[in-house]
Amino acid sequence: MKFAQFLLKNSKAAGIPKQVERFSKFSPSPLSMKQFLDFGSANACEKTSFVFLRQELPVRMANIMKEIDFLPDKLLGTPSLKLLTSWYSQSLLELVEFLEKDPYDKSVLTNFTETLVNIRNRHNNVVPTMAQGVVEYKEAFGVDPVTNQNVQYFLDRFYMSRISIRMLMNQHTLIFDGSVNPAHPKHIGSIDPSCDVAEVVKDAYETSKMLCEQYYLTSPDMEIIEVNSKSPGQPLHIVYVPSHLYHMLFELFKNAMRATVETHESSPTLPPVKVRVSLGNEDLTIKMSDRGGGVPLRKIEHLFSYMYSTAPSPVHVDNSRNAPLAGFGYGLPISRLYAKYFQGDLQLYSMEGYGTSAVVYLKALSSESVERLPVFNKSALRHYQSTIEADDWCMPSREPKKLGKQEWTQ
């Protein structure tokens, strides 16, 4: 194992491969939004949460650590990936120490909560660190289709795993740190049992508008329409994590505003960004439409690609002077993961020459909003072992045959 060999060079991490093997044999246990709510709101028991998390967090970490080993050797050898694997190893070791501790000992529970906070802080820069590793690899070795396919598959799973691990840690630390957030007294950890979707839309718009005006000195207006088919005329409320929804909408607004301003830079007025929010029996859907010129169909999938990102690396530039879209270009793919995390989705539909519509799908019922978690098994392994085969559809030639000049004989 490449990952194991790397870890064994560090004497402190000698037990890591054994722990990864041990915990990756278990499948993660996905929780529904309703379970998160029920647990946090009705006499939340810190001991129960401790006993669950001291097993579940190592399982989720070990499952994704197994997959790190299937990345290309040269990617694993980058300084960024070495740093990142050391974070995961240290965090796994710290969690495993609690397996034999007494849940009835108050000091153990306090120490566990402090450890979770430390782990969460240690992993704050996981996304840019992994992104920087990909940049280092691309600059040194370029991109080939097989590597692109494997890295795309891995990063979707890796970042989804990270979202889920932080969700568990946030719920525990927020509920059991003994304080209530004065700004959001009714929140259960990071979950709002009555999340006002239109308010989150407006918050994301206002922040994006401020960024857009700082850079372009102008910004498009927003028009919002709410459609509540379940309770006509009533505001749209669902059980959700407002920070996740904000993350998605903020990213979509930034893209819509930049496209609109740059497409209409010589026009006296800017067309508005139109948002429609609709609540049905199964889905809550948010559609955001701009008139920012659109994107060709062949480029849509590249917008969700980690390897094909065209954004400049923020490590080498001054972020304070950069456009609202500055970064590694991971905004859209990670926003889609936030949507998929509780069984939703994020899709783009574009009309080149006119504009783009982004659609966010969320589950309307908390019992159906269940975590979507990666698990390491033979199916996952096959993805890393697959190769790019010849296409079974004809590819159009750049120079069509001149059939008119062909001579036919009987």
Indicate which residues carry an active-site annotation: 247, 251, 254-255
Helices 33-41 and 145-176, packing angle to 10 deg: 20
Say how far residue 266 (Cα) sits from the centre of its chain: 36
Ramachandran angles phi, psi of 391, nearest 5°: -65, 140
Residue that has been written with the tokens 């722990």 in this structure: 19
Q: How far is CA 13 from CA 49, 70, 129, in A?
A: 27, 20, 21
Separation of alpha carbons 168 and 189, rounded Å: 10
Separation of alpha carbons 124 and 134, rounded Å: 18
Q: Which pair of structure tokens corresponds to residue 126?
A: 């996981």
Burial class (CB in 10 A: 0-12, 13-18, 19+), 124: exposed
Q: 320 Cβ partners below 8 Å, 6+ apart?
A: none
Residue that has been written with the tokens 């060999």 in this structure: 5
Q: Is 200 helix (H, G, I), strand (E, B) or coil?
A: helix
Q: Is 368 helix (H, G, I), strand (E, B) or coil?
A: coil
Q: Could you say which DSSP state residue 124 is in? A: T
Q: Which pair of structure tokens corresponds to residue 302?
A: 């590249």
Q: Which pair of structure tokens corresponds to residue 391?
A: 């296409």
CA angle 307, 310, 313 (to 5 degrees): 90
Burial class (CB in 10 A: 0-12, 13-18, 19+), 51: middle
Q: Is 345 helix (H, G, I), strand (E, B) or coil?
A: strand
- H/E element, 358: strand 355-363
> Which amino acid, 115?
T
Separation of alpha carbons 47 and 273, rounded Å: 48
CA angle 243, 162, 333 (to 5 degrees): 70
